[in-house]
Amino acid sequence: MKLTTSLLTTTTIVVIIVLHGTDATVETTCKAAADSDKRVNYTFCIDELSNHHESPEADIWGLAKVAALVGADSAGDAMAYIKVLLNKVGIDSNEKVTLEQCLKLYFNVGYAFAEAYDKINYRNYTLGKEEVVLATSLSHKCDDAFTKATIANPLMQHSWYTTQIALVCTAITNLIK
C-alpha cells in the first residue's frame, strides 16, 4: 500500500513536471490545429514542436515557421539515412538507383520546407502552403519509386513524418490571424 502510494505520488510529480515542461502556446496551438483538421496528430504536434528551441518564444505565426523548420530538418535526417544505406556493402544496383532518386527528392523536400518558411515569414501564407504541399508530394514520389522498383521501402517512416509535419504546418498557418 505504501509502495503504491509512493508510486502514485512519483507519477503525479512526473506528470506535473511534464506539463510544465510543455509550452502553453504549443499546447493550445496544437489543440486548435487538431480541432481544425482531423488529420493533424495532436501528440505528434506537441512532441515535435516542443522539442524545438525556438518554440518557447513563438506565437502562432512563429510556430508555423517552427513546423517548416522541423520539416526541413527531418528531410536532412532522411538524406543522412539514405547516404548510410547507399554505403552498404554489396548494395543491389536497382536499390542504389532508387535510393539516389530519393536522395534528390528529399533534398527538394528540404528545399520546399525552407521556401515555406520564407513565404510564411513574409506572411504570404498561400505560397507557403503550396510549398508544404510540394514537400509532401515529393516524399510520396520516393515511396512510389520503391513501389515501381518492387523493393521494400526503407523510408516509409520518413514520408510518414513529412506528411505529419506538413499537416501540422498547414493547419497552424491557417490559424494565423
Ligand X SMILES: *[C@@H]1O[C@H](CO)[C@@H](O)[C@H](O)[C@H]1NC(C)=O
Burial group, residue 55, by CB count within 10 angstroms (0-12, 13-18, 19+): buried
Cα(167)–Cα(112) distance, integer angstroms:
14
Cβ-based nearer residue to ligand X, 5 or 126:
126
Residue 77 binds to ligand X (criterion: CB under 6 A) = no
Calculate ∠ Cα 4-6-11, nearest 5°: 95
Residue 150 binds to ligand X (criterion: CB under 6 A) = no
Q: Are 75 and 110 in contact (CB under 8 A)?
A: yes
Nearest of 140, 118, 143 to residue 130 by alpha carbon: 118
Closest approach of Cβ 140 to ligand X, in Å? Answer: 16
Stretch 25-44 residues interacting with ligand X (CB under 6 A): 41, 43-44
Closest approach of Cβ 68 to ligand X, in Å? Answer: 16
H-type helices in 87-124, by residue range? 93-121
Q: What mask, x for binding ligand X by CB under 6 A, covers residues 41 to 60?
A: x-xx--x-------------
Cβ-based nearer residue to ligand X, 127 or 149:
127
Cβ-based nearer residue to ligand X, 74 or 98:
74
**Grid cell listed for 10:** 512519483
Stretch 57-76 residues interacting with ligand X (CB under 6 A): none
Cβ-based nearer residue to ligand X, 48 or 145:
48
Candidate list 127, 149, 151, 176; residue touching ligand X; CB under 6 A: 127
- CB neighbour list of residue 32: distance below 8 Å, 6 or more residues apart: 175
Residues of this chain that interact with ligand X (CB under 6 A) are 41, 43-44, 47, 124, 127
